[in-house]
Structure 1
């Protein structure tokens, strides 16, 4: 077992290989707030289910059952420093596995919103869909607890945004980091918004 700089034992990292066939590309997104998730903004992910009719059917069938059963796991994507993902294991009403990945640079607000709300709406769609034009489509609400991922996310988010700002602005890493921290602080102030009760 590895040890950190202070000599404390580190938990072994769980590595799971996942087929690219399980990936659901995000084609559009939005957010809904209300009594769900205590008034937090819950991200709505419209995913392309063209190659995953099982997921499209799962979302459709879920309208007619009182509740489903799903577990989720956040993680980093090996050899892709700009990517994090979440894996869903659906147990009922239909058994299926799916993975959604996020670009830290372009889609961090979706990850932050999901972590703040501890939930995600998943909606079936196609390339070209627009959230505001698909408000009546069926979607499922998935609880995504992430206490074990939050610290790792904060670390990789800061690293990635520091690198992005360093490259874009042509400044040193030391100069870029405070700007990255401020950008993240502003984003978190938005994603932590809650509707008053």
Structure 2
């Protein structure tokens, strides 16, 4: 992960979840994110990808430089082929910590565009599968997620001596879902 002060558009996730297919990822769950279709350059990028061979992309997990502890990470996507485009997808740890974990485990995500209330795999523009290699952000994330889960458990009244064990068990159980393979 790097601190990022580059200038590029970043988009809010309007819908997310997980998708499993025997064709992709050996039937493991792969996260999907939908951003609003007002991001016309992303809609166009997806349409171009639907008609061309796979392209080239560089992915980087970033965080805005701040003196305050931020709860937001951005997955910066830099496409070079078949079209040059750089943009980010914003992840709020309160809403998306399981989604971030799923992306790191599956090392991929589906990207889709649509309206609020949109259901994945129903978009007319289609979706693209993006490979997101596990980088050094993975170990950073493990620490961030553990601290986040501990904080939530403490806030919800879990006894102090059980917080660490319960947090690790929670993360382990959630990861088992991402590793599950449909048959």
- Find the counterpart in structure 2 of residue 105 from structure 1: 94
Q: Which one has the bigger strand percentage? A: 2
Deviates more, 1:76-85 or 1:88-97: 76-85
- Find the counterpart in structure 2 of residue 87 from structure 1: 76
CA RMSD in angstroms comes to 2.2
Distance 2:113 2:135 in 1: 27
Q: Does 1:140 align with 2:138?
A: no
Q: Which structure 2 residue ranges, 5 or more long, are not aligned?
A: none
Distance 2:94 2:169 in 1: 15
**TM-score normalised to the size of structure 2?**
0.86
Distance 1:170 1:117 in 2: 30
CA offset digits 1:114-154 (Å, max 9, x no partner): 1111111100112232337x266500111000132211110
Change (3 A) 1:195 1:167: same
Is this contact kept in 1: 2:2–2:63, CA < 8 A? no
3-state SS of paired residue (2:143): helix
- Find the counterpart in structure 1 of residue 35 from structure 2: 47
- Find the counterpart in structure 1 of residue 9 from structure 2: 22
The within-5 A match list for 1:35-184 is 35-50=23-38, 52-78=39-65, 79-131=68-120, 134=122, 137-169=125-157, 172=160, 175-184=162-171
**C-alpha deviation, 1:36, in angstroms:** 1.6
Distance 1:18 1:126 in 2: 28
3-state SS of paired residue (1:63): helix
3-state SS of paired residue (1:41): strand
Is this contact kept in 1: 2:2–2:61, CA < 8 A? no
Which structure has more relative contact order (CA 8 Å, sep 6+)? It is 2
CA offset digits 1:15-73 (Å, max 9, x no partner): 32144x611211112322223223321111111131x2111110111111012111101
Distance 2:163 2:141 in 1: 19
Distance 2:125 2:50 in 1: 10
Q: Which structure 1 residue ranges, 5 or more long, are not aligned?
A: 1-12
Question: Whose radius of gyration is greater, 1 or 2?
Answer: 1
**C-alpha deviation, 1:97, in angstroms:** 0.9
Distance 2:181 2:64 in 1: 30
**C-alpha deviation, 1:108, in angstroms:** 1.8
